[in-house]
């Protein structure tokens, strides 16, 4: 029986041979059903086929394009940071890493979102300092005239005052978490990371993630 009618018999058989035993193993570790994991691995597999008929993995370049397309995310600094966090700076992405990425994309768990967002912002693992904030704010207010420069400075000072509770010049994860738990809309205070609710729904429909489609959940 074909698992995907858009693939020929050879590729269907190869997919089943490569991932048949892996699907239940992964499904036990993630919040997706076995059919959903199978559908996600089909996406992964089709990308891997672009690297040759015997390829088993997708490259981090391909993965970066998936991040852009799935999340409608165009800040390449953030895209590159996501790729690095998922791949560990290797040149390829494993099937499990791809599924883990999808769990982050689809999650509504604020704790997990905070963990991931902070790691994106804290690029060097030293905490979020004034330089990090200034670089992010510069993207909010492009331009070099005096009014724009003043708005940037005001925004930087506001964010530091808001998040740096002990005023030591570093926003720690605990400080970030403390603020976001009180005001969840500040989760992505240094720029977008996660797809919107509407985009998550599109991903769910296109990837056959039925457990993430509200009208099917309530049936």
| Mean pLDDT per 10-residue segment, the chain (219 residues) | 74 90 96 95 94 90 94 92 92 96 95 97 94 93 85 94 94 98 97 93 92 64
89 and 56 in a single domain? The answer is yes
50 and 88 in a single domain? The answer is yes
User: How many C-alpha atoms does 146 have within 13 Å on its Cβ side?
Assistant: 0
148 and 76 in a single domain? The answer is no
91 and 118 in a single domain? The answer is no
CA separation for the pair 64, 85 (Å, rounded)? 12
Domain that holds residue 34: 9-113+194-217
Instruction: Assess if residue 3 is contained within a domain.
Output: no
Q: What is the pLDDT of residue 219?
A: 39
Residue 162's CB is within 10 A of a number of other CB atoms, namely 14
Element (H, E) at 49: helix 34-49
Domain count, the chain: 2
CA separation for the pair 136, 217 (Å, rounded)? 38
Sorted by sequence, the CB contacts under 8 Å of residue 123 that are 6+ apart come out as 81, 132
Instruction: Assess if residue 1 is contained within a domain.
Output: no
Distances (CA, A) of 4 to 15, 26, 157, 187: 10, 20, 54, 38
Q: What is the pLDDT of residue 130?
A: 95
């Amino acid at each position: 029986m074909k698992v995907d009618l858009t693939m020929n018999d050879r590729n269907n058989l190869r997919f089943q041979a490569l991932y048949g035993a892996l699907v239940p193993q992964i499904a036990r570790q993630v919040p997706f059903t076995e059919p959903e994991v199978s559908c996600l691995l089909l996406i992964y597999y089709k990308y891997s086929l672009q690297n040759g008929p015997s390829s088993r993995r997708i490259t981090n370049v391909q993965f970066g394009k998936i991040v852009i397309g799935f999340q409608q995310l165009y800040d390449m600094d953030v895209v590159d940071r996501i790729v690095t966090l998922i791949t560990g700076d290797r040149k390829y992405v494993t099937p499990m890493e791809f599924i883990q990425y999808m769990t982050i994309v689809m999650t509504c768990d604020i704790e997990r979102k905070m963990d991931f967002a902070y790691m994106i912002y804290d690029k060097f693992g030293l905490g979020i300092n004034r330089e990090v904030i200034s670089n992010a704010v510069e993207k909010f207010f492009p331009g070099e005239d005096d009014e724009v420069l003043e708005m940037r400075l005001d925004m930087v000072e506001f964010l530091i005052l808001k998040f740096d509770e002990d005023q030591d010049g570093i926003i720690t994860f605990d400080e970030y978490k403390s603020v976001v738990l009180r005001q969840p809309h500040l989760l992505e205070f240094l720029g977008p990371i996660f797809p919107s609710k509407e985009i998550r729904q599109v991903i769910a429909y296109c990837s056959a993630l039925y457990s993430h489609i509200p009208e099917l959940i309530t049936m």
